[in-house]
Structure 1
Amino acid sequence: MRADSIEHLRRFFGYDAFRGVQSSVVDRVLAGQRTLAVMPTGAGKSLTYQLPSVMLDGTCIVVSPLIALMHDQLRAAEAVGIRAATLTSVDDNRAETIERFRAGALDLLYIAPERASGEGFRNLLTQAPLSLFAIDEAHCVSEWGHDFRPDYRLLRPLLDRFPEVPRLALTATADAHTRADILEQLGIPEDGLIVAGFDRPNIRYHIAPRENTTRQIIDVVAENPGPGIVYAQTRKGVEQLAEKLAAETGRPVLPYHAGLDPEVRRRNQARFVASEDMVVVATVAFGMGIDKPDVRFVAHAGLPKSIEAYYQETGRAGRDGDPSVAHLFWGADDFARARQRIGEVEPARQPGERARLTALGALVETAGCRRRILLKHFGEDAPETCGNCDNCLNPPAAIDASVTAQKFLSAVFRTGMLYGVGYIEGILTGVSSERSLMNGHEKLSVFGIVDGDEVAMLKPVSRALLLRDALRTNEHGGLEFGPEARPILKGEAKLELVLPPKRERRRRGAKGSVPNPVGNPLFEALRAKRREIAQETGLPPYVIFHDSVLRDMAMVRPASLAALGQLSGVGARKLDAYGQDFLDVIRQF
């Protein structure tokens, strides 16, 4: 490691040491090498190009997929004293930015892949020295990735035009196949791959079947103060859930989806980024452009597209390292719809999509450690238990429900594979109706063969059969056999059922949900000062200082600027800009 790396790290970012693989990545960049760094969200990916940008001659070109993300990163870079700019379609200072670039007055220039791949931009880059190409969200370059962006495939000619400029690709979510594709597409050698661990130990994973989704998510919001993201699967679902959460929780709640007016979307996103307690209900389009480290919870009101998508979406929680939670509520109909979508894609992609869905099924159905399944999916060894997921904290019971499954499948078969779950349950439990009488189904051997405690197993059994593709729903909502039905029906395959323990509701802000010393007068006064500065400067509160820095201030109570400057996360620029304001608050206590 170059000796001046730590000096610059302290001066700009206020840290005395690198985290994880940051130092290895920075060393390669400073040595002029090409690198792909796979680092989990919250591991400090942006630092690995921001720090070299102030240590090397020339401008670092950062290719980033979303304008909102660029503007968030721009604010954060400028706050620590890095000379940065964006060159996007919504910027009205493009001419000024180009002049700053030509004059060598920029450390960082953020650009979208659509502009970066154009001939005009390539010509512009010949007019000033370049220090580095940084390709953020690099999984977008791969057709195997879950967020493929065709414009990322056009970056190679730009990079190859400047072969002497080091290139750094960054992503949080890439399995082995996707990593190999990124290396090839961006011209990075195999020995340039650095993979950090995928584990996010501060995130607690909870996964449960949907029962009353709105009530389940209201409970999550009530238990978790601080900013949160709730993902719904449709625009209508977003609107309805946002309205109900706002009415039931008393928290500020805003919707976000592509159907909203662009100005409303921009305003809602800006309000969320600046907030310390807002909940945004959104489609999955929201979040990739959010560089907000203090999100305390993420909740899914339905199944994500893949484990990669789930990992990335839940990874938007707790990027500051503080405890956070991720809740997923799923239904068997999610899997039925997903299988339908797979049938509509081109045949060559179907095996991969089916494998992704099977992996998701294993994650939601397991009685074991959730984190272990996540980490193994990314090729990482993991202990049997993590101590911070629902199954590890409160182990569920697993029972053999094969006999009940056989009864259910028999009833589906004997009624002609025409009816939905509710009707089949009625036949099995002997509920007489006009329809069952008219159809003659009350004379079937399966009528009324389920009673007692077994009745409660029918809904989870039907859900498990749909999840495993033993049952499918047709276009009229009727159940029919899937390819996994016959092995279960013939006793060649078992159906194990996971029975989650009854979940106790906790009151809002229950002890242990957030590590902040809420109620500590000094800490609250420091947060109030941060809010005041944020409003004056137009910056989100977390850009001023993270909660962890305010906690340190409240605990250490530095009495001078020099002492304040020794706290982790207090760089020279922030010390000069805000130090005296926070010292004045501390002196009052």
Structure 2
Amino acid sequence: MPANPDAADLLQHIWGYAEFRGLQREVIEHVLGGGDALVLMPTGGGKSLCFQIPALLRDGLGIVVSPLIALMQDQVAALRELGLRAAFLNSTLDAETARRVQEQARRGDLDLLYMAPERLLSDSGQRLLDQCRIALFAIDEAHCVSQWGHDFRPEYGQLSILRERWPHVPRVALTATADVPTRQEIADKLLRDGRAFVSSFDRPNIRYRVVEKRDGRAQLLQFIRGEHAGDCGVVYCLSRNTVEEVATMLAAQDIAALPYHAGLSAEMRAHHLRRFLDEDGIVMVATIAFGMGIDKPDVRFVAHLDMPRSIEGYFQETGRAGRDGLLAQAWLAYGLQDVVQQRRLIELSEADATYKRLSTAKLDAMLALAEAADCRRVRLLAYFDETSTPCGNCDNCLSPPELIDATESAQKLLSTIYRCQQASGTRFAATHIIDVLRGKRGDKVERYGHHAVSTFGIGADLDEQDWRSLLRQLVAQHLVEVDAAHFNVLQLGAASREVLRGQRRILLKRRAPGSERKRRAPRGVAGSGATAASAGAALQALSRVDAALFERLRAWRASTAKEHGVPAYVVFPDATLHAIASTRPATLADLRGISGVGDVKLERYGPALLACIADTK
């Protein structure tokens, strides 16, 4: 390490990286100069370096505010593995340990101190900070400050005290997810004349895929078995009961699945989180209570069995896949019931009318993404005011769906809803309406005399699944409303007249049978800003990796991590082991050239790595 290192020296010698990515250097220079910053970078984009390096170069202690008590230990352990002086203060510490950490902070013996917002906001927390020389404040997961956001935390709203009590200390607010209104709210509450650094939200290594939900659990099982056997992944479900049932189902199929939700004891949640972080191949089945701040880099897929509430939530959750830059998948099973369920949750909430309107708008944007027939990545990025070109790496790009003008079919469906209600003076759910359309003379159809309505049997040319797919699109566009409080009966939306009068076209998305390629998700490396083509090139290079050496390196890493009491990825991520296995460095100097191998890790692990390479022929 040079005598007076600059940011680039720290990046190379501590973290083992040759150059900064994206906006990292600009953010670091701005904060080093004492400026406030709002940093928006996608998950895995390198946000942490934007405050860690300035904290080391500025005089004093870097204070990191994080809502993730369960993960602070791993974040601190990763920094200590790099040779940095880091600690955390939260409710998991006993009194003696907490006192010792506070003394280290006062003496200036720490580089970085992680604190839960509750601890920082307490009288004792503020007294401690008054007794320290503070280099900067970093507020992680800063979108939690927004009461209109998808993950509001009330205590975050009180963090405005940072600029009031310590006005001359720079503040860095960091998040991977924030639309324009949320960004403004973060700046207003946490920063003073802050500069916004907004990186591309694109995660080119993630393949986005939406399937029509028919038997969601069977489809999920097929997806994991067929494309991600043995991989680490996360499966999101809406309810706790579904989490338990899906985890049990997967475990019964010899998939290492664990449940995670707020109804489990704190001890059980901690145990399952520990296994997920420490072991390879664990599939966590969870509610959205799980995942914020998860640093595990080798999550190969994120699956949703239920519709996310918003694009922000979807982006945040899917972003937990592929943090290492290797290819990963975001898989969503989506059906009509998802639309009904999410809208019902909004209607039944105790929130005010303004919040309900905002929630409905966010849900509608998510539905539009799920129903899209064009590039999903283009739509996803457009939500965050970012323009892009078709990615070539989502389901719609890889297997373009066939678009059919379904306006006439939509008119038939809408007319049938109207005529059944008109004939009986009551409303009916989807199954009954589709039976009438297809000319099925069941007991209920006969009882209400609907075999006599003019639309009976006019939809016999389409099967039930086609009608349900069309109905889902009409519901998503508010052309049909579903009364979830009254047995999911259907009623016409205000805009349905435009369709009935021929003033609005309806296009039905239909994928040709067998057109979607079924294969295991490829493993490759896609760096920041990589295109599908560059990801493919990296994949070809990685296909020559010596598999035996890679597995030997992983085994060494697992035993080393266990000795050190840290997750395996804290020792080295898979991407670094891939690079070692493919290049087979013969000397410590060669090993030093591998991305992710800094000075401390080279000294600590270099000889063992070279021994693994020499022993694997």
Percent same amino acid among aligned pairs? 44
Q: Is the 8 A contact 2:329 2:521 kept in 1?
A: no
Cα deviation 1:420-443 (Å, max 9, x = unaligned): 211111111111122222221111
- What is the root-mean-square deviation in Å for CA atoms of aligned residues? 1.9
Once the two structures are superposed, the pairs formed by residues 390-539 of structure 1 within 5 Å of their partners are 390-416=395-421, 417-453=426-462, 457-474=466-483, 475-502=486-513, 509=520, 520-539=547-566
Partner of 2:357: 351
Q: Is the 8 A contact 1:32 1:166 kept in 2?
A: yes
Which moved further from structure 2: 537-546 or 517-526?
517-526
| Runs of 4+ in structure 1 over 6 Å off | 504-508
Measured in 2, the distance between the counterparts of 1:455 and 1:403 equals 16
Measured in 1, the distance between the counterparts of 2:514 and 2:605 equals 44
Deviation at 1:304?
A: 0.4
Measured in 2, the distance between the counterparts of 1:471 and 1:293 equals 42
- Distance of aligned partners of 1:84 and 1:503 in 2 relative to their CA distance in 1, 3 Å threshold: farther
- Residue number among 274, 278, 296 corresponding to 2:278 in the alignment: 274
| Ranges in structure 1 where 5+ consecutive residues have no aligned partner | none
- Residue number among 575, 583, 588 corresponding to 1:556 in the alignment: 583
Measured in 1, the distance between the counterparts of 2:34 and 2:106 equals 22
Which moved further from structure 2: 128-137 or 443-452?
443-452
Partner of 1:175: 179
Q: Is the 8 A contact 1:63 1:136 kept in 2?
A: yes
Measured in 2, the distance between the counterparts of 1:504 and 1:539 equals 44
SS in 1 for 2:6: helix
- Distance of aligned partners of 1:509 and 1:366 in 2 relative to their CA distance in 1, 3 Å threshold: closer
SS in 1 for 2:497: helix
- Give me the TM-score of the superposition, normalised by structure 1: 0.95
Partner of 1:220: 223
Deviation at 1:456?
A: 5.2
Q: Is the 8 A contact 2:592 2:598 kept in 1?
A: yes
Q: Is the 8 A contact 2:412 2:455 kept in 1?
A: yes
Cα deviation 1:109-140 (Å, max 9, x = unaligned): 10111121223211111212111100001111
Measured in 1, the distance between the counterparts of 2:360 and 2:465 equals 30
- Distance of aligned partners of 1:507 and 1:381 in 2 relative to their CA distance in 1, 3 Å threshold: closer
Partner of 1:203: 206
Paired positions, count:
585
Deviation at 1:308?
A: 0.6
SS in 1 for 2:299: coil
Measured in 1, the distance between the counterparts of 2:316 and 2:514 equals 26
Measured in 2, the distance between the counterparts of 1:144 and 1:428 equals 42
Which amino acid in structure 2 is aligned with residue 22 of structure 1? Answer: Q
- Distance of aligned partners of 1:38 and 1:303 in 2 relative to their CA distance in 1, 3 Å threshold: same
SS in 1 for 2:84: coil
- Distance of aligned partners of 1:512 and 1:581 in 2 relative to their CA distance in 1, 3 Å threshold: closer
Q: Is the 8 A contact 1:57 1:131 kept in 2?
A: yes
Q: Is the 8 A contact 1:67 1:289 kept in 2?
A: no
- Distance of aligned partners of 1:342 and 1:499 in 2 relative to their CA distance in 1, 3 Å threshold: same
- Distance of aligned partners of 1:477 and 1:456 in 2 relative to their CA distance in 1, 3 Å threshold: closer
Which amino acid in structure 2 is aligned with residue 431 of structure 1? Answer: K
2:196 matched to 1:193?
yes
Which moved further from structure 2: 336-345 or 3-12?
336-345
Measured in 2, the distance between the counterparts of 1:141 and 1:294 equals 29
Measured in 2, the distance between the counterparts of 1:90 and 1:427 equals 61
Cα deviation 1:464-494 (Å, max 9, x = unaligned): 1222222222222222222332222222222
Q: Is the 8 A contact 2:376 2:396 kept in 1?
A: yes
SS in 2 for 1:411: helix
Q: Is the 8 A contact 1:36 1:188 kept in 2?
A: no
Deviation at 1:351?
A: 2.9
Once the two structures are superposed, the pairs formed by residues 96-107 of structure 1 within 5 Å of their partners are 96-107=100-111
Deviation at 1:269?
A: 0.6
SS in 2 for 1:296: strand
Q: Is the 8 A contact 1:255 1:268 kept in 2?
A: yes
Cα deviation 1:552-580 (Å, max 9, x = unaligned): 21122222222212211001111122211
SS in 2 for 1:491: coil
Measured in 2, the distance between the counterparts of 1:226 and 1:566 equals 29
Measured in 2, the distance between the counterparts of 1:259 and 1:454 equals 41
Partner of 1:40: 42
| Ranges in structure 2 where 5+ consecutive residues have no aligned partner | 526-538
Which amino acid in structure 2 is aligned with residue 26 of structure 1? Answer: I
Partner of 2:165: 161
Cα deviation 1:151-206 (Å, max 9, x = unaligned): 1111122332222211111011111111111111013315x111111111111100
Deviation at 1:232?
A: 0.6
Q: Is the 8 A contact 2:105 2:132 kept in 1?
A: yes
Which amino acid in structure 2 is aligned with residue 59 of structure 1? Answer: L
Deviation at 1:509?
A: 4.3
